[in-house]
Amino acid sequence: MSIFIRWFPPSWFQIRYKDKVIYIDPAWMRTLFTNYPKKVEFSKWPDPIDGLPDKDLEKADIILITHHHKDHCKMVTVNRLKKKDTLIIAPEHCLTELGEDITIIRPEEEISFGNTLVKAIDAYNTPEGNSTRKIHKKGKCVGYLISMAGKRIYHAGDTDFIPEMKKLGEIDVAMLPIGGTFTMDVEEAACAALAIKPKIVLPMHYKKKGNTQEFKKKVEAKTEIKVIVLKIGEVYEL
């Protein structure tokens, strides 16, 4: 069975395997991103993109939040996607936005949900990193390493290139930010990709900055890593 991964800006992914649905950082849609299709509704997928059907967003089995900033953590979105038994995992700083009905996770902690294992990985800005605004502090934000269906998927969160990335082990898909303001830029993210050595990289967290094609060229010129640049709402089949 395939794993299907769908992307929305800035770092929102849906991961679907069989009847299980995971969301990472579901937050804003058209509210902040003016290049969304004009007719998109918050509760709907965008109008057909590359043949994708217009359908209701599936409810979540697991929702993972990397940190408390509003483009990653939004109660109204979480409420629209959750079911009564949805597991919501987030760092402690998300309590203010999401309330007490979440499972708090800290870097290096693991949580199992059926056959899915979720591990929190540190995510932070470093003094030497290329990010221009150092607002993500160590210990307050996380990325996630998701093990499911024999695959390992890494969502880096908002971060610079950090030593923890070199210790992840074998990774099938890495979701790496390339924007350069609050996160790694293209150059630094390419270095991170070369260190992680995933089979596939999905660039994320770029809007005004972050040239996806430049990133793709830098990574693919030096490695066998494949960079997949998803359109809004597009699905990658793993």
Confidence (pLDDT) at 29: 54
Task: Give, in order, the Cα–Cα distances in Å from 47 to each of 12, 16, 29, 55, 102.
Answer: 18, 20, 13, 9, 32
Structure tokens of 75?
A: 């109660």
Confidence (pLDDT) at 151: 97
Confidence (pLDDT) at 163: 97
Confidence (pLDDT) at 63: 97
pLDDT tens, residue by residue, 150-163 = 999 999 999 999 99
pLDDT confidence band for 136 (50 / 70 / 90)? very high
Would you say residue 103 has pLDDT above 80? yes
pLDDT tens, residue by residue, 35-70 = 444 443 433 434 333 333 334 578 999 999 999 988
Give the lowest-confidence range in 39-48, 129-138, 152-161, 229-238. Answer: 39-48
Collapsing DSSP states into helix, strand and coil, what is residue 213? helix
Confidence (pLDDT) at 31: 44
| Prediction pTM value | 0.89
Give the separation between CA 175 and CA 23, rounded to whole angstroms.
13
Confidence (pLDDT) at 62: 97
Q: Which domains does the chain have, with CATH numbers?
A: 3-237 (3.60.15.10)
pLDDT confidence band for 120 (50 / 70 / 90)? very high
- Average pLDDT (122-142) is 93
Structure tokens of 222?
A: 């030096």
Tell me the pLDDT of the chain averaged across its residues.
87
Dihedrals phi, psi of 20, to nearest 5 degrees: -100, 140
- Average pLDDT (17-40) is 68
Would you mind telling me the total number of residues written for the chain in this entry?
238
